[in-house]
C-alpha cells in the first residue's frame, strides 16, 4: 500500500527556498523523508530518475514546476546495508 504526504498553499519565497534546499540535500544524501503531522513518507531515489521541468507566464501569473520520479529496481539488486568481515 502506498503512502502520500501532500502540501499545497501560499508561503513566503524564503520558506519555499528552504524546503527546496532541504529536498536537494536529501537527494544528495540518498533518502528523502517528508513529514506532515503524523504522516511520514521515506523515499530512496534510484540512480536513474525521470526529470521534467516547465516554466510558463500568463498575464499576471507565473509558474515553475519540477518533477522527479523513479522506480525501484525489480530484480532485487537494490543497495543494501550489508557488512562482511572476518
Sign of CA dihedral 15, 17, 20, 22: negative
What's residue 78's pLDDT? 54
Distance CA 22, CA 19 (A): 5
CA 18 to mean position of chain CA atoms: 14
What's residue 82's pLDDT? 60
Cell of 33: 523523508
pTM here? 0.75
What's residue 72's pLDDT? 86
What's residue 11's pLDDT? 95
What's residue 73's pLDDT? 76
Given a cut of 50, the residues of the chain with pLDDT beneath it are none
Q: Look-up: residue for cell 515553475? A: 64
What's residue 83's pLDDT? 64
Amino acid at each position: 500500500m502506498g503512502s502520500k504526504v501532500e502540501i499545497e498553499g501560499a508561503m513566503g519565497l524564503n520558506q519555499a527556498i528552504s524546503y527546496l534546499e532541504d529536498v536537494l540535500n536529501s537527494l544528495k544524501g540518498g533518502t528523502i523523508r517528508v513529514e506532515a503531522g503524523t504522516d511520514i513518507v521515506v523515499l530512496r531515489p534510484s540512480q536513474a530518475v525521470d526529470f521534467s521541468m516547465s516554466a510558463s507566464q500568463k498575464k499576471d501569473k507565473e509558474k515553475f514546476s519540477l518533477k522527479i520520479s523513479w522506480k525501484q529496481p525489480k530484480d532485487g539488486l537494490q543497495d543494501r546495508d550489508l557488512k562482511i568481515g572476518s
